[in-house]
Amino acid sequence: MALLDRTLFGLACFAGLAILVLQLAEIILRLAGGSLPFVSETTGFLMAALTFLALPEVTRRREHLTADFVVLMMSESLRRKIELLISPAVSAVYVAALIYTLWGLAYTSWLDGVRSEGITRTPLWIPQAVLLFGLAMMLLRLLVALVRAIRRWPVVESAP
């Protein structure tokens, strides 16, 4: 699982590098009086891929930005429950809702043959599928973290 996360993160890094190269080429060409008309649209798709393909690795590392100032004021045991159980569970429900919504959008785009309005006329289901895949891998990572936390959670037996 970690190998898949790192592979997707590598693809996200490659998308970032491609954005850099395309933008630099566009800047140089504009200074010379030219332009690459597909750069704006392509870098938009690459930025979405960069963001969503990095999600599983960022989730594995637990490096998402969080507003944890309230949680930090709680007791250690409550904070541990929130960080290890409640947070991944709520996040998994939220990501599942995003997947459901994006699936409907991508499926409709595929059925209707919706294409981007830019020069490339890219079928929109393709970048939407990349987003969907990134979210699905994030959901899988959240569920793995949740199962691991539940399996490690100490069981307190009541006295007879």
CB burial of residue 59 (10 Å; 0-12, 13-18, 19+): buried
pLDDT in tens, 76-134: 888 888 888 888 999 999 999 999 999 999 999 999 999 999 999 999 999 999 999 99
Q: What is the 3-state secondary structure (H, E, C) of 43-111?
A: HHHHHHHHHHHHHHHHHHHCCCCCCCCCHHHCCHHHHHHHHHHHHHHHHHHHHHHHHHHHHHHHHHHHH
Specify the higher pLDDT residue, 61 or 154.
Answer: 61
| Structural domain includes residue 160 | no
| Structural domain includes residue 39 | yes
**Number of domains the chain is built from:** 1
| Structural domain includes residue 159 | no
What is the per-residue pLDDT for 158?
59
Q: Mean pLDDT across the chain, nearest whole number?
A: 91
Confidence label for 2 from pLDDT (cuts 50, 70 and 90): confident
pLDDT in tens, 20-32: 999 999 999 999 9
Its domain, for residue 17, covers 2-66+74-152
| Structural domain includes residue 36 | yes
Instruction: State the average pLDDT over residues 125-145.
Output: 96
Predicted structure pTM score: 0.84
| Pair 58, 12: CB distance under 8 Å | no
Confidence label for 147 from pLDDT (cuts 50, 70 and 90): very high
Specify the higher pLDDT residue, 155 or 43.
Answer: 43
| Structural domain includes residue 157 | no
